[in-house]
Chain A
Amino acid sequence: MSAERVDVEQKVLSANDQIASEVRGRLAGHGVFSVNILSSPGSGKTTLLERTVDLLKPSLRLAVVAGDVQTRNDAERLERHGIPVQAIETGGGCHLNARQVSESLESLDLGEMDLLFIENVGNLVCPSSFDLGESRKVVLLSVTEGEDKPLKYPAAFRRAGVLVVTKVDLVPHVEFSTQTAIENALSINPDLVVLSTSSYTGEGLDSWAEWLTGQVTECKQGS
């Protein structure tokens, strides 16, 4: 029997993308703006979210879906700030997928939500491949990581809409040129919105909160 070639031409992640598209539709139906936060482990995702929640909670209805390989530690930290949080323990998985987010949304009231943060598993590689149905991807880069991270892990920086440089209060103590890091990120993705922040001193957090609030307003007008 001779071999026959069958053209398939199918995206490998089409099953995930289909669920992501349903999630996007559900969120848009309720006028919820959502961000999928990507970074290496230890870049300060949870701390940035804690500060952000404190800043925005008076004016916006917030919720978080927090992913980790194991433990509910991040979710518990965020719950203490008085907002609804759903934890996803991937049990070894190195990224969140759309199905996990879709299931988490079942336990959250989308009608009582303006802004949803999805804190991905700390990993700068795998999460970038999976659409979760978010409005925008935000990538964090802490100043202790090295300014060439965007060149080493281009996919995350290419797919993100915003780069948040974190821990800038530590710049005097490390060999890190914020300008070079930003240049590297822009060489991968010239359309990135770039913000520099310190969750410790509060520097730059107002701009970040302002960007988020602006996006929420636009999202409400579009829905």
Chain B
Amino acid sequence: MHEMSLALEILSICERELGGLPETQVTAVGVEVGAFSGVDADSLQFCLEAVMSGQFDGVRCEVVRQPGEAACPRCDRAFKVMRAPFECPECGSLARGFSGGQGLQLCYLEVE
């Protein structure tokens, strides 16, 4: 359960971004969570709302899961994966390994 410490980290990045503009209000925050990042998107959503709304009233938190990408060993097709096993949607072959989907990124803030 490290989502709370990640939410606090996101809050501190927001505060750094707002540095020198104390009157600015954050109205929304957008975060991307890799499906294979080891971070639970639902828990992060919950923690982020708790942490951010303490600082910015009515803030909207948008947590989006980012898939990884696998390549089919038979038909060579690249396809998105959210969980193992990595079955090719075209031919059903199983891919080994994947790329991407491991990051955790604060993408944008909406301020006013």
Partner-B contacts on A (CB < 8 A): 1-15, 93-95, 125-126, 128-130, 150-151, 153-156, 158-159, 184, 186-191
Residues of chain A within 8 A (CB-CB) of B36 are 154-155, 158
For residue B28, CB closer than 8 A to chain A, the reply is: yes
Determine whether the beta carbon of B2 is less than 8 Å from that of A190.
no
Which of A2, A130, A153, A155 is close to B112, meaning CB atoms less than 8 Å apart? A2
Closest chain-B Cβ to A167's Cβ sits at a distance in Å of 24
Size class of B's contact patch? 35 or more
Closest chain-B Cβ to A94's Cβ sits at a distance in Å of 6
Q: A3 with B104: in contact, given A8-B13, A12-B31, A190-B96 (CB under 8 Å)?
A: no
Partner-A contacts on B (CB < 8 A): 1-2, 5-6, 9-10, 12-13, 17, 27-28, 31, 36-39, 83-86, 94, 96-98, 102-112
Closest chain-B Cβ to A103's Cβ sits at a distance in Å of 17
Determine whether the beta carbon of A5 is less than 8 Å from that of B109.
yes
Query: How distant is the Cα of A128 from the Cα of B6 in the complex, in angstroms?
Result: 13
Determine whether the beta carbon of B27 is less than 8 Å from that of A8.
no
Residues of chain A within 8 A (CB-CB) of B104 are 11-13, 129
Smallest Cβ-Cβ distance to B33: which chain A residue: A12
Which of B9, B102, B107 is close to A155, meaning CB atoms less than 8 Å apart? B102
Query: How distant is the Cα of A5 from the Cα of B110 in the complex, in angstroms?
Result: 4
Residues of chain B within 8 A (CB-CB) of A153 are 38
Determine whether the beta carbon of A129 is less than 8 Å from that of B9.
no
Closest chain-A Cβ to B5's Cβ sits at a distance in Å of 8
5 pairs across A/B with beta carbons < 8 Å? A5-B109, A8-B17, A10-B106, A12-B31, A154-B36
